[in-house]
Structure 1
């Protein structure tokens, strides 16, 4: 079933867009026809953004004009999901196109307990696929799938990297949650002054300007609005530990957390606007595909998930149903709302197909390119989540939930009960039994590959 609410004349639009791009670009002798037809790719990921934290998703308090414009000129997704309800698992799935359990990143990689753990270097990332296709690749922001040098982004397909490898840093001192300096250029610690959100934007814009004459992949995983809750004028909260076990918190968090959180989201939106304006100024906007999403749902401390039940770290919808927007002017028609159930891991094969690259055969995600550009129906498939002993499964509008491995299964129909308040497992015992078999089979399958 086609779940777009607005689709029209895709074949004509796509053909005209490619023809227009070729006509405009062939005046530059350094650009080949194959390069013209392969778009630049920008992937932007927010951190802990609530489902209702953007004004285009219903926020009445936070103003996000640039993301609103992106949605108005493209596709806004209502049933897009992060692979995990926390940071590291979703990022592992995003990078590899696989369920994160297959690559051994099914929980948060922490600075305190997992400094020797990370995404295995032999796992192929979407950045490596883009490098093989002749793209220059850059990443600026949060990594969070490995601390050691062998796990560093420049060893996993990115030509350039500036950012932090932990779960979060002080936005001003760039000290992580365990008291370590954590701001890198490539695989070297490099001190740099500035508010982390602004630095991420600045380096992203610089990357675009330096590589405007060649096809590029730009991955922008923002820190915002993840804690610590700090605005541009906030004082640093952390300093480097003087010795192991020493306290490294030097300033308490500011009390006006809601105002700071609002500023954090709006500064991120402002930076995204700078990136988009840079594309327009350089005449790259018509040949650039931009995708925005969050890595999981908002937290109970500040995030607004609207009417969704639960928050980050839960398998209720509030933990993993996230904001997502696709933008490709001249190719994607404006003002679309997409209700298809999609996952983070679908982005790898989608982006690969966008540029005509080979899609790895051993991944779980599926390309949604033709769904986005031509309105083709998505294949029917079961989708799964697992975290901290809990598990969930989607089959169409049905969602099966297990609060722990031996718990009684719960069943919800999200079409009529998006808030997940009415457990209808007893009225649908055969369906529950069938889905439970599928879910348990999946758990064994992905665990066996760790």
Structure 2
């Protein structure tokens, strides 16, 4: 009853004020597609300078839209970033600070109000295809958070057999196990294109949440490994020899890039190419031993730039300037308020969002207001805690007793610790983190 009451009030606000809040200079009710590529590094795409990976379809998307150079995941791992995307808030407000393990007990609370619920109340049909990882589908699934249609996995199963590391089948259609055969990247692509065709006459919100490039490292032509009823943690990286990981990673990225091409072809053949906004991004940095974070220090799981500065593209023909670059500091939690604004919808009253509306910077490259951004990460596997603060060119990182301060304008690779040279800056950022962290200090992660 309490959850229904909250959603009803927010829904009434949308109904009464959506028309008045619309921006009449924009097409009404654009379709919205968000493509999230798991573990994609800052240096993995051709449009970001990769000389190893061929990504022509993603590169064309970037050349037709806006490429971001200072775009950040809210966390250096999956689940926290996805919680921030879905809620427009720091993930600490959802109690999710690490990648949710193989359990039915932990997940994003169902009372959290999500972008899909907001869009659904405004008449959008919402679909999610691919990785969910915000709690087990049986208890915390996407259809309980505003999505009308889902084909999804809890985590990252075998790409061919769809079996998880704990020996369970992990491929669901609307929260029910489905044994359809196929390579998972191809299935995500197929169901995404079907969803577009099925909703050609009404506005839709589609999250294409690729399981790739996360391990197990299996390209389309690599062998299956996992079978049901067995624990696979000791072979979590898949069936291949370590020497083959980078090749398999490259093949997986090629498959994802082809999927982007199929989605674009479907939009074009359906006449929706000019009526659809596309955001493409990663949920965190790459593991540097298979992928590339370019010149950035660190990798997935780190609060150095390589762990959370990620590739991102926004595309909307005729609205977002083609072949443009955006150098402003942006976070994944900014996507919810931005998408609602681009859809002509007001922000829900009574809901505290931490993200910013990026509409003006997307459409006109207008500057964003100054702000201080925060990261707090509890690493479940290494049992370490770390935090980071970003304000303008300055970035502070604290891990244990070590304090580091970097000037990202002159040292993007974070090689020169300036904490001793600028103690006043370090202390000021520490004080700001202390204040920001106060409400979350005693909050257990992934409660």
Superposition TM-score, scaled by structure 1 size: 0.88
Matched, 1:379 2:369: yes
Once the two structures are superposed, residues 113-133 of structure 1 have per-residue CA deviations (whole angstroms, 9 ceiling, x without a partner) of: x42000100001100001011
Separation in structure 2 between the aligned mates of residue 366 and residue 245 of structure 1, nearest angstrom: 41
For 2:144, the equivalent position in structure 1 comes to: 155
The CA distance in 1 between the partners of 2:437 and 2:32, in whole Å, is: 33
Question: Do structure 1's residue 402 and structure 2's residue 402 form an aligned pair?
Answer: no
Structure 1 position 375, deviation (Å)? 2.6
Counterpart of 1:287 in structure 2 is 275
Is 2:394 aligned against 1:391?
no
Aligned to 1:32: none
CA-atom RMSD, angstroms? Answer: 1.9
User: Alignment partner for residue 342 of structure 1, among 311, 327, 330?
Assistant: 330
Task: Give the Cα separation in 2 of the matches to 1:427 and 1:171.
Answer: 50
User: Residues 249 and 99 (structure 1 numbering): CA distance in 2 closer, same or farther, change over 3 Å?
Assistant: closer
Residue of structure 1 in register with 2:354 after alignment: 364
CA distance in structure 2 between the partners assigned to 1:221 and 1:308 by the alignment: 25
Mapped partners of 1:92, 1:296: distance in 2: 13
CA change 1:379–1:238 in 2 (3 A) is: same
What CA distance in whole angstroms lies between the structure 2 residues aligned with 1:150 and 1:425? Answer: 45
Distance 1:37 1:408 in 2: 51
The secondary structure found in structure 2 opposite 1:69 is helix
Moved more, 424-433 or 39-48: 424-433
Cα distance in 1 for residues equivalent to 2:234 and 2:387: 37
Aligned residues of 1:298 and 1:318 also touching (Cα < 8 A): yes
Q: Does 1:196 align with 2:191?
A: no
* Deviation at residue 350 of structure 1 after TM alignment: 0.4
Q: Which runs of 5+ in 2 are unaligned?
A: 1-22, 379-384
Corresponding residue to 1:435 among 429, 437, 443? 429
| Unpaired segments ≥5 residues, structure 1 | 1-14, 19-35
Q: SS in structure 2 opposite 1:256?
A: helix
Q: Specify the alignment match of 1:128 in structure 2.
A: 117
Q: How many residues align?
A: 413
CA distance in 2, matches of 1:294, 1:208: 22
User: What pairs with 1:132-281 in structure 2 (closer than 5 Å)?
Assistant: 132-166=121-155, 168-241=156-229, 252-254=239-241, 255-281=243-269
- Per-residue displacement from partner, 1:379-434 (whole Å, max 9, x unpaired)? 11000011121000000010001022xx1421100000001000111111111111
Residue matched to 2:63: 72
Asked whether the 8 Å contact 2:33–2:279 carries over to 1, the reply is yes
Counterparts of 2:186 and 2:390 in 1: how far apart (Å)? Answer: 38
Q: Cα 1:314–1:249, aligned 2, differ >3 Å: closer, same or farther?
A: closer
CA 1:99–1:282: 2 relative to 1, 3 Å: same
Q: How far is the alpha carbon of 1:376 from its aligned partner?
A: 2.3
Q: 1:250 to 1:221 in 2, by over 3 A?
A: closer
Name the counterpart of 1:324: 312
Aligned ranges for residues 295-306 of structure 1 at < 5 Å? 295-306=283-294
C-alpha distance in 2 between matches for 1:302 and 1:119: 30
Query: 1:246: Cα distance to partner?
Result: 10
